[in-house]
A and B are shown apart, each in its own frame.
Chain A
């Protein structure tokens, strides 16, 4: 049995090895995303948007004389599986990796990329992180070949506080409820950090289990007892939905300041409870000119939702960076692509984004929106959607480089 299997393996291996490239070297992109398991719906959105972006590159003539190739790898929502798929992608000769649906997986991949590059000088791989917002990815774990093309907790909170204060919706008593892991802890720290600037007092804060709580009524009772004006929460998925539902059921009169209210299904499930609540995000259709949203819809059949907008911009930024490079059909040099990406400023419909060289965090505008009835772009087939309150420019939203970031740059 075993030796038969091995013989078969050898045959297949030999076949794979004999396929030799006859053309110029194409740029290979790998999407290592949660395409099965509980995070599939989000993983799918990232993959769709990356493909949309790559199609734009290929429509404009590709790169290095060849169309850019995209391969999807399913990490099944787990870090060990992601490590496995990374090795598979590296074996397939992938140059750039995209991923977004989990900070834990982003943490795994950035480590894998760092080690791979140490061991394979001249054949570097680059990691474009689309959604891993954990602070340590640009702190403790920051490295030259990792780029974060999304906001982080402080950026979202800074923007929320800034816009809500201007709109007179912030109040002076704030409650903070978050999930008990790195992201929730980052959110809580960010809410505490801007208390003075925002002129509010944090009356109470709580960290709860991730995706395990079925009934948020006890938490809502605690919130009620503290009688805040605004509740900050970084919760996503079920935890956000159930929290809002419990708040609606108990008649709690507060404004929620959130980060993931635009996740598909949230508005539809929350119903009228959602009206008046805030969200800070990378992009919203109502905030920019219509052109991008319409082009996206023409290509994919729907307006960009949730993470799709900023993912498409990340590939757009890569496209501009590639425009300044020419490898003349020869070998792809990922280090040069990374250096070019550092120098690229990309104009999105909501303002320019650029990469901060010290930690490879993007400096980007943050869109603060509010849920209203009859908006320009309704969400989830409801009559509700987001109305832009303010676009906070990147320089205002961004936070200082973390001390823990010690980036080693390639010798050039």
Chain B
């Protein structure tokens, strides 16, 4: 029954992913391409951290390698190599696999912090080497190519790129999922839980970890390839630490313990940057804040919270729970509004434009416009608003959280109720 339900949900999601994009605007189609690429990258990354328990800080290396390999293949196709455009990501897969085997061999000799540091060092190696290898990475201007038409498809529109990306993301995503069902997938989990035991059972732990690392690098390479196909250019900034950091954030916010968790995180962050980045200059701050809050109050990530509720669906008394949850959401929104208000006010008051007007006004504090209202920095009302929002929201949230905790405790699940009740309030 549960399996049927899940399959139906998956099929529905697939139908929507295929049928909806033609009706979306170009901006949204492009955002969807980015969502798919980020999701696939996060899934590949999560094979390491979520399933094998290996935290990599340098996955940008394999993403970037995949992108450059694909661009070089694209240039060859432009020059007449008869390769169908949809098969281009194979170059990314192959390059990711090769580099993954080599880098993985060294990185997986150690685990824990040492593993993380080695992966970081490998990515940094690429980042500092790439600008000097003009022929391979194209220097500052990067490598650039064009998608060639194939079988009547020009690959000129974003929609065609979307379907190409969707195809590859689905194949690789389902492949990764199938992997978890194989005996080797089980071994991966065992390596995370108790490596010594795996060794005693007679498995070669190092070789297994190299294989896992290489598979993760291979799929990351495919994600990089898809980005190269969609952007048609890449420069060495792809190897930068923030590319590696982004995938870590996305995976943890989405939830690394469940398979589809990283997709949630990747979707959330990609859409967040698409929708918010042109509205406010502080969007990176908000993104960091979301990460911190999720890590503090829902360490299993958004996916973990959702999964917890699904697992206990039958026992949940929604008549009793819906009210407190709604109040918690309201409290959360109030607090969020207060934080946004303060952040934007600070951004205005300490911004360049305001400094200029202050200079023009001979040191007096000129009033400013924000959210469609005029505010006076010395006015009492300007500062009452955030106090009311934060105070009211905080109290509401605290109250609701208490009631939710009582409910979960009454169900006899004291331990993890803490994390989940507050997690739902995010």
Which A residues lie at the B interface, using CB under 8 A? 1-3, 5-7, 9-10, 12-14, 16-17, 35-36, 40-41, 44, 71-74, 76, 78-80, 83-84, 87-88, 90-92, 103-104, 107-108, 111-112, 115, 118-119, 134, 136, 141, 180-183, 300-302
Q: How far is the CB of B240 from chain A (nearest CB, A)?
A: 8
A-B pairs, top 9 by smallest CB distance, nearest first, are A91-B26, A107-B141, A301-B356, A119-B156, A13-B24, A91-B27, A6-B16, A83-B231, A87-B30
Contact assessment for B281 and A36 in the assembled complex, using a CB-CB cutoff below 8 Å: yes
Contact assessment for A3 and B140 in the assembled complex, using a CB-CB cutoff below 8 Å: no
- Tell me the dominant secondary structure on chain A's binding face: helix
Contact assessment for B30 and A76 in the assembled complex, using a CB-CB cutoff below 8 Å: no
B288 beta carbon closer than 8 Å to chain A: no
Contact assessment for A35 and B281 in the assembled complex, using a CB-CB cutoff below 8 Å: yes
Contact assessment for A5 and B231 in the assembled complex, using a CB-CB cutoff below 8 Å: no
Instruction: Give the docked Cα–Cα distance between A399 and B141 (Å).
Output: 22
Q: List 10 A-B contacts (CB under 8 A).
A: A2-B16, A3-B9, A44-B352, A79-B142, A79-B233, A79-B237, A84-B30, A104-B140, A108-B235, A134-B141
Q: 1/0 contact trace for B24-40 toward A, CB 8 Å?
A: 11111010101000000
Instruction: Give the docked Cα–Cα distance between A142 and B23 (Å).
Output: 36
Instruction: Give the docked Cα–Cα distance between A301 and B240 (Å).
Output: 37
Q: How far is the CB of B3 from chain A (nearest CB, A)?
A: 18
Chain B interface size range: 35 or more
B190 beta carbon closer than 8 Å to chain A: no
CB within 8 A of A88: which of B27, B146, B271? B27
Closest chain A residue to B144, Cβ basis: A111
B271 partner residues in chain A, CB cutoff 8 A = 5
Given contacts A9-B24, A78-B237, A79-B235, contact A182 B140 (CB under 8 A): yes
Contact assessment for A10 and B23 in the assembled complex, using a CB-CB cutoff below 8 Å: yes
Instruction: Give the docked Cα–Cα distance between A73 and B27 (Å).
Output: 13
Q: How far is the CB of A377 from chain B (nearest CB, A)?
A: 15
Q: How far is the CB of A34 from chain B (nearest CB, A)?
A: 11
Given contacts A79-B142, A111-B144, contact A90 B26 (CB under 8 A): yes
Closest chain B residue to A76, Cβ basis: B277
Given pairs A10-B24, A119-B157, A134-B140, 9 additional interface contacts (CB within 8 A): A12-B28, A13-B28, A16-B25, A72-B278, A79-B237, A84-B30, A88-B27, A134-B141, A181-B131
Contact assessment for B20 and A6 in the assembled complex, using a CB-CB cutoff below 8 Å: yes
Given contacts A2-B13, A14-B23, contact A301 B357 (CB under 8 A): yes
Q: How far is the CB of A272 from chain B (nearest CB, A)?
A: 25
B306 partner residues in chain A, CB cutoff 8 A = 1
Q: How far is the CB of B302 from chain A (nearest CB, A)?
A: 9
A5 partner residues in chain B, CB cutoff 8 A = 267, 271
Contact assessment for A1 and B284 in the assembled complex, using a CB-CB cutoff below 8 Å: no
Instruction: Give the docked Cα–Cα distance between A108 and B16 (Å).
Output: 33
Contact assessment for A3 and B233 in the assembled complex, using a CB-CB cutoff below 8 Å: no
Given contacts A10-B23, A36-B283, A104-B140, contact A115 B146 (CB under 8 A): yes
A183 partner residues in chain B, CB cutoff 8 A = 140
CB within 8 A of A87: which of B17, B26, B235, B353? B26
Given contacts A13-B28, A88-B30, A104-B142, contact A36 B16 (CB under 8 A): no
B146 partner residues in chain A, CB cutoff 8 A = 115, 118
B227 beta carbon closer than 8 Å to chain A: yes
A71 partner residues in chain B, CB cutoff 8 A = 278
CB within 8 A of B140: which of A10, A90, A103, A111? A103
B175 beta carbon closer than 8 Å to chain A: no
Instruction: Give the docked Cα–Cα distance between A78 and B356 (Å).
Output: 28
Within 8 A of A (CB), among B202-256: 227, 231-235, 237-238, 240
A35 partner residues in chain B, CB cutoff 8 A = 281
Q: How far is the CB of A282 from chain B (nearest CB, A)?
A: 21
B75 beta carbon closer than 8 Å to chain A: no
B117 beta carbon closer than 8 Å to chain A: no
Contact assessment for A104 and B235 in the assembled complex, using a CB-CB cutoff below 8 Å: yes
Instruction: Give the docked Cα–Cα distance between A182 and B277 (Å).
Output: 29
Contact assessment for B283 and A115 in the assembled complex, using a CB-CB cutoff below 8 Å: no
Contact assessment for B232 and A111 in the assembled complex, using a CB-CB cutoff below 8 Å: yes
B359 beta carbon closer than 8 Å to chain A: yes
Instruction: Give the docked Cα–Cα distance between A83 and B158 (Å).
Output: 13
Closest chain B residue to A109, Cβ basis: B233
Contact assessment for B356 and A182 in the assembled complex, using a CB-CB cutoff below 8 Å: no
Closest chain A residue to B285, Cβ basis: A36
B139 beta carbon closer than 8 Å to chain A: yes
Instruction: Give the docked Cα–Cα distance between A79 and B236 (Å).
Output: 10
B12 beta carbon closer than 8 Å to chain A: yes
B264 beta carbon closer than 8 Å to chain A: yes
Given contacts A3-B12, A35-B281, A108-B142, contact A80 B237 (CB under 8 A): yes
Instruction: Give the docked Cα–Cα distance between A205 and B158 (Å).
Output: 47
CB within 8 A of A91: which of B30, B154, B352? B30
CB within 8 A of B232: which of A91, A104, A115? A115
B16 partner residues in chain A, CB cutoff 8 A = 2-3, 6-7
Within 8 A of A (CB), among B97-124: none
Instruction: Give the docked Cα–Cα distance between A111 and B140 (Å).
Output: 13
Contact assessment for B25 and A17 in the assembled complex, using a CB-CB cutoff below 8 Å: yes
B2 beta carbon closer than 8 Å to chain A: no
Instruction: Give the docked Cα–Cα distance between A36 and B144 (Å).
Output: 25
Interface centre among A6, A10, A83, A136 (most CB of B within 10 A): A6
Instruction: Give the docked Cα–Cα distance between A80 and B228 (Å).
Output: 9
Interface centre among A44, A73, A76, A79 (most CB of B within 10 A): A79
Q: 1/0 contact trace for B280-294 toward A, CB 8 Å?
A: 010110000000000
